[in-house]
Amino acid sequence: MDHRRLLRSSALALAATGLLLSGCTGPGTGDRASAAPAGGSGQGARSSPSAELKPFYGQKLSWRKCGTSGFQCATLKAPLDYGAPGGETIELAVARKKATGPGSRLGSLHVNPGGPGGSAVGFLQSYAALGYPAPVRARYDMVAMDPRGVARSEPVECLDGKAMDAHTQVDQTPDTAPDASAFHTALKNFAAGCEKKSGKVLPHVSTANTARDMDIFRAALGDTRLTYVGASYGTFLGTIYAELFPARTGRLVLDGAMDPSLSARQLNLDQTEGFETAFRSFAEDCVAREDCPLGRTSVKAAGQHLKKFFTDLDQRPVPTGQSRELGESLATTGVLAAMYDEAAWPRLRAALSAAMDGRGEALLALADAYYERDPDGTYSNLMFANAAVNCLDAPPAFSREAEMHTALPDFERVSPVFGRNFAWAALNCTYWPTPATGTPHRVTADGAPPILVVGTTRDPATPYKWSRALASQLSSGRLLTYDGDGHTAYGRGSDCVDTAINTYLLEGEAPQDGKRCR
């Protein structure tokens, strides 16, 4: 069972596979009451924090050595409920790697890899602080905060490894009444597990609250403005920060952007189309190669071949060399995982060839990397936090199965290969135990300095039209387009993209709106 709308940078998504690539409130109404309206004004945009929040803004971080050489970690305190900041607190994991020089220090550069649910601290330690361009690392302290409910920051927990294994194998394209019943039972059990294990934090893990946490972190670091690179879902976090705190917004790079004005249903539909676009690009490349497992005739025929392969697996899973077999659900997830970056295409061709020959271990490995499942059967909390944040940030795509069936033809129209899977997966928030506190709306962030929005034309997870939409909504938005494949653009091989972003971060000069790179 795959909770779709997993929006993250490919560098983190496939790190576990060795492909380190260069991407629903409960008790009380406090969080809802303190959320900023669509115009971006309200309590969050005050020039100084309220009296109740001043202790949080004035805290001093106790840094300690952690991880590999050069990294420091600390714990940041924030209100659990911003509507009642004098009540319980939440502890958030933060990390930094100081600027290496030469050159004068420019401040702190916050990074977030997306998700929601991706560990920003893990991303910093495994990639950003080592893989970001040297001139940027020389001038900035590289910093990260695991969002509330994620990884080291009081993580949302839902299912143990054995139960999660079963969950990921549930038929996501039910053909019979018993299959549909099992699908709904899986969604209910997942939601119930989250409520049982993490009921205290579930109402408070919204993106708006994480943006407020990020402003406290900014203040604790001594920065007057936030400098930030957010990828995928991280662009939504950065957008909401700019809406809440336009006067404290500095140089923001939003790479692989989300459109905050879209409903959950439209987001799911657009992402379905995005993955179809990415698959067509993969298929066009594949059919021209001798080792293509989907035939060598046409893109359309390749899609039909893959769809038949999924259907056959639904009836006859193939062995993987372990207790789990490769069925339709895990195979689909494995294919989708490889759509995040074209560098994974050779591996996908080999994995599909092996699976079609009765050996499913390679395609299963791609699915496990997507789910962040370790060989010992344990999972990170990525998928748990992903559902918790998504289901809180917007009302569910569908409130009942009948609504999904009405929309199903649209999903199948935009993606003959994946449409049915995505439509059923969009039911993931239907049974969520805490009601949504967020509402889709346009964000202008009036008063913020130029904000750089980066879009990739054939991005599967964050379709290019979302970047165009966000850049047009933001009063100071500048759109940088990468004409290419894969999820996100910074640090993935385009000198044109990297130079434009580096110049913006180091010199404050945003590229001309509409600049295109290939």
Residue of 299, 304, 298 lying closest to 280 (CA atoms): 299
23: which 2 tokens?
């991407």
Q: Which of 31, 255, 270, 459 is catalytic?
A: 459
d(CA 287, CA 284): 6
Residue 76, Cβ density class (10 Å: 0-12 exposed, 13-18 middle, ≥19 buried):
buried
Tell me, yes or no, if 459 is annotated catalytic.
yes
| Residue 259: HSE in the Cβ half-sphere, 13 Å Cα cutoff | 23
Beta strands in 98-235 (DSSP E): 107-112, 114-115, 140-145, 226-231
Q: Name the phi and psi angles at 361, rounded to 5.
A: -65, -35
- Sorted by sequence, the CB contacts under 8 Å of residue 9 that are 6+ apart come out as 23, 113, 114, 118, 123, 231, 232, 234, 255, 256, 487, 488
Residue among 153, 206, 232, 415 flagged as catalytic: 232
Q: Omega before 396 cis (within 30°)?
A: no
Element housing 76 (H / E): strand 71-79
How many CA atoms are closer than 13 Å to the CA of 272, on its beta-carbon side?
27
Task: Write the single-letter amino acid at 306.
Answer: L
Residues 6+ apart with CB under 8 A from 206: 31, 35, 389, 392, 393, 437, 438
Three-state secondary structure along 451-463?
EEEEEEEECCCCC
- Selected catalytic residue, list 3, 110, 204, 487: 487
The tokens for 496 are 């044109």
Tokens 């759109």, residue located: 479
Active site residue 232: yes
Q: What are phi and psi of 243, to 5 degrees?
A: -70, -45
Tell me the C-alpha distance between 91 and 87, whole Å.
Answer: 13
Active site residue 263: no
- Distance between CA 5 and CA 429 in Å, rounded? 11
Could you tell me where the beta strands, DSSP code E, fall in 429-511? 451-458, 477-485
Active site amino acids: 232, 459, 487
